């Protein structure tokens, strides 16, 4: 799989480290989160069969994190964008 | 010229092991997934609990998922009491399974070595041997020379990247022919009245209020008193139709075989650190498991760098393997939980039961989880051996961390 780093362009997947689902925000008010809420934040992620926004680190390249929207069946990558940017609408 | 007109005729088909069924409008129990776990669950529902109005529905074909894609390793040398309970229960059932199902499954208790390559591995392995012995599981610690006696082709020299510093050994562990296990359970379940329905994808779960009352399938709705999911990597997809989110991530896990070779290895060798686990099948292929891909995937194929990494380590551990060739590689979708232990039991919806999260190691549990899951469904409460494996443990913190015993070579 070739992964398009927003800064370096397409590179082999072995240059990257996977970071799991993107756009998972830390709770706004941590002291208000109960056990079930912490379990959901710590352990539960989407497990999409289809388009999935996920984090990648270009470990053997520029060493910068970014997000990509990848299809988990075809592995097509429709977008790669810097952290902090809004997820593009795809599919 | 009429003498030339011979009606072509094939020999009669041999007897089928089971008959394909058309879905009925309703069943007492619908089991989703005709892999080993689903078939075993249906069998024990019928055999142990007298519940025979059961359908096993399968989107593909019987035993076409992970049941016939795994590396067939059977063992029970897990660290924690909870795991020892369910895996050892399974191993004891494996030991009587050929008689139980009245068919051969080529069960071979040839032992398993789990290699240690670092001081950390040694300490973890010795601790696990002690824990196993306290749970009545046959486990021993072996030094490098004893490892080589059991597997002479292992390189135990010290000047290599991953030296063999010792190994845990479970003599009662082994392998079985995984597709025969699926067929054995299918035949036995069918004989007890269970309907086996292939090519029937479940697309949704039907509910009335807080109760699940059936499934929607590609071949129409089926009502069910109880619905039991045994869908491995696709469990999240099914449960998401009810808004249930489980702490599971699905990844491709790969395996490969060599060509048929003379017998060179008569035990199972696993190395978690270098992601190699290998046995030699009865007909002579080296069967090797690789790691999971690092990223979520449902493609039933894996990434090639994983195979390259795995082969590099295998050839270092077993220099003779450099003469062998990779004949086939394939992948299956495994559902991995945060603590490398399964989720088995009840759900927030009455009438809905889940069995998932077995990750990379579900095959060995097949008879054990089949009997325990069937008991859970029949009595609508967790079987004592399943009770620790609830989805609530992620909120209570009572995790069952088996990354050491499972790792990728689960």
Q: In this prediction, does ipTM exceed 0.85?
A: yes
Q: Which residues pair with B30 in a beta bridge?
A: B55, B227
B119's CB contacts (< 8 A; 6+ apart) are B165
Q: What does the mean pLDDT of chain A come to?
A: 96
pLDDT value for B8: 79
Whether B184 contacts B101, CB under 8 Å: yes
Q: Are B292 and B337 in contact (CB under 8 A)?
A: no
Between CA B367 and CA B209 the distance in angstroms is: 34
The answer to whether residue A71 is domain-embedded is yes
**Measured between CB atoms, does A38 come within 8 Å of chain B?**
yes
Helices (H), B242-287: none
Percentage of the residues of chain A whose pLDDT score is greater than 70: 99
Q: Does some domain include residue A87? A: no
Classify residue A86: in a domain, yes or no.
no
How far is the C-alpha of B125 from the C-alpha of B109, rounded, in Å?
A: 21
The secondary structure element, H or E, covering residue B145 is: helix B144-150
Reading chain B (410 residues) residue by residue, the pLDDT tens digits are 455 677 778 888 888 889 999 999 999 999 999 999 999 999 999 999 999 999 999 999 999 999 999 999 999 999 999 999 999 999 999 999 999 999 999 999 999 999 999 999 999 999 999 999 999 999 999 999 999 999 999 999 999 888 999 999 999 999 999 999 999 999 999 999 999 999 999 999 999 999 999 999 999 999 999 999 999 888 988 999 899 999 999 999 999 999 999 999 999 999 987 778 999 998 999 999 988 999 999 987 889 999 998 899 899 999 999 999 999 999 999 999 999 999 999 999 999 999 999 999 999 999 999 999 999 999 999 999 999 999 999 999 999 999 877 655 44
A39 contacts chain B (CB < 8 A): yes
Instruction: Locate the DSSP E strands across B58-199.
Output: 73-74, 112-116, 140-142, 166-170, 174-175, 195-197
The whole-number pLDDT of residue B3 equals 57
Which residue range(s) make up the domain with A72? 2-27+36-81
Q: Is B396 on the interface with A (CB under 8 A)?
A: yes
Is some CB atom of chain A closer than 8 A to the CB atom of B312?
A: no
Cα separation, B107 vs B100, in Å, equals 13
Number of domains chain A is built from: 1
Given CB atoms, is B246 within the 8 Å cutoff of chain A?
A: yes
* Cβ <8 Å between A20 and B394: no
Averaged pLDDT for residues A19-31: 96
- The pTM of this model reads 0.94
Q: What is the pLDDT of residues A44-72, one digit of tens each?
A: 999 999 999 999 999 999 999 999 999 99
Task: Give A38 to chain B, closest Cα distance, Å.
Answer: 7
Measure the CA dihedral B231/B337/B271/B330, to 10°. 30
Residue A57's domain is classified under what CATH number?
Answer: 3.30.2270.10
Rounded Cα distance, B230 and B237, in Å: 12
Closest by Cβ to A43, choosing from B237, B299, B394: B394
DSSP class of residue B247 equals S
Does residue A48 belong to any structural domain of this protein? yes
Q: Is A23 domain-assigned?
A: yes
Cross-chain CB nearest to A72 (options B297, B338, B397) = B297
Q: What pLDDT shows up at residue B406?
A: 66
Residue A7 falls inside a structural domain: yes
Measure in Å the smallest separation between the Cα of A21 and chain B Cα atoms. Answer: 9
CB B207 within 8 A of CB B197: no
A41 close to B (CB below 8 A): no
B97 closest CA partner among B300, B362, B365: B365
Q: Is residue A77 part of a domain?
A: yes
Which pLDDT value is given to residue B409? 45
Q: What angle do CA B234, B240, B246 make, to 5 degrees?
A: 75
**Residue B87 phi/psi, 5° resolution?**
-75, -35
Predicted pLDDT of residue B97: 98
The answer to whether B235 and B354 are in contact (CB under 8 A) is yes
Please tell me the distance from the alpha carbon of residue B249 to that of residue B337, in angstroms, as a whole number: 7
Residue A62 covered by a domain: yes
Q: Looking up tokens 């799989």, which residue turns up? A: A1
Give me the phi and psi of B103, to 5 degrees please: -155, 160
């Amino acid at each position: 799989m070739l992964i398009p780093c927003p800064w370096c362009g397409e590179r082999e997947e072995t240059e990257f480290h996977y970071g799991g689902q993107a756009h998972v925000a830390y709770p706004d008010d941590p002291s208000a989160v109960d056990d079930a809420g912490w379990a959901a934040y710590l352990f539960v992620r989407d497990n999409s069969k289809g388009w999935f926004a996920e984090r990648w680190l270009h470990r053997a390249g520029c060493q910068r994190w970014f997000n990509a929207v990848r299809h988990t069946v075809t592995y097509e990558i429709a977008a790669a964008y810097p952290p902090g940017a809004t997820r593009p609408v795809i599919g | 010229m009429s003498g030339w007109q011979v009606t072509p005729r094939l020999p009669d088909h041999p007897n089928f092991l089971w008959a394909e069924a058309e879905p009925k409008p309703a069943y007492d129990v619908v089991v989703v997934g005709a892999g080993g776990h689903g078939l075993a669950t249906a069998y024990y529902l019928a055999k142990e609990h007298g519940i025979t109005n059961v359908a096993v529905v399968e989107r593909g074909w019987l035993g076409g998922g992970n049941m016939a894609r795994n590396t067939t390793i059977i063992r029970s040398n897990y660290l924690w009491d909870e795991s020892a309970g369910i895996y050892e229960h399974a191993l004891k059932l494996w030991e009587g399974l050929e008689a139980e199902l009245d068919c051969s499954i080529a069960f071979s208790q040839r032992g398993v070595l789990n290699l240690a390559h670092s001081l950390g591995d040694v300490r973890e392995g010795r601790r696990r041997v002690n824990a196993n012995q306290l749970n009545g599981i046959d486990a021993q610690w072996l030094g490098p020379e004893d490892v080589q006696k059991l597997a002479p082709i292992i390189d135990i020299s010290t000047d290599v990247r991953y030296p063999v510093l010792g190994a845990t050994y479970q003599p009662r562990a082994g392998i079985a022919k995984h597709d025969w296990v699926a067929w054995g359970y299918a035949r036995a379940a069918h004989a007890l009245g269970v309907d086996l329905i292939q090519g029937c994808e479940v697309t949704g779960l039907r509910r009335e209020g807080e109760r699940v009352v059936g499934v929607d399938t590609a071949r129409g709705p089926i009502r069910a008193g109880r619905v039991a999911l045994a869908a491995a990597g696709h469990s999240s997809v099914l449960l998401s139709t009810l808004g249930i989110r489980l702490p599971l991530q699905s990844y491709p896990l790969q395996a490969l075989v060599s060509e048929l070779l003379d017998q060179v290895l008569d035990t199972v060798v696993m190395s978690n650190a270098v992601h190699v686990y290998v046995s030699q099948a009865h007909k002579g292929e080296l069967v090797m498991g690789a790691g999971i891909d690092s990223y979520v995937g449902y493609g039933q194929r894996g990434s090639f760098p994983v195979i390259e990494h795995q082969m590099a380590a295998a050839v270092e551990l077993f220099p003779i393997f450099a003469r062998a060739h990779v004949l086939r590689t394939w992948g299956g979708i495994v559902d991995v939980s945060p603590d490398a232990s399964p989720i088995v039991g009840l759900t927030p919806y009455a009438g809905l039961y889940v069995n998932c999260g077995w990750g990379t190691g579900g095959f060995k549990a097949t008879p054990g989880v089949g009997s325990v899951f069937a008991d859970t469904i029949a009595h609508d409460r967790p079987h004592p051996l399943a009770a620790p494996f609830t989805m609530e443990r992620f909120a209570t913190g009572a995790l069952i961390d088996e990354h050491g015993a499972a790792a990728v070579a689960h």
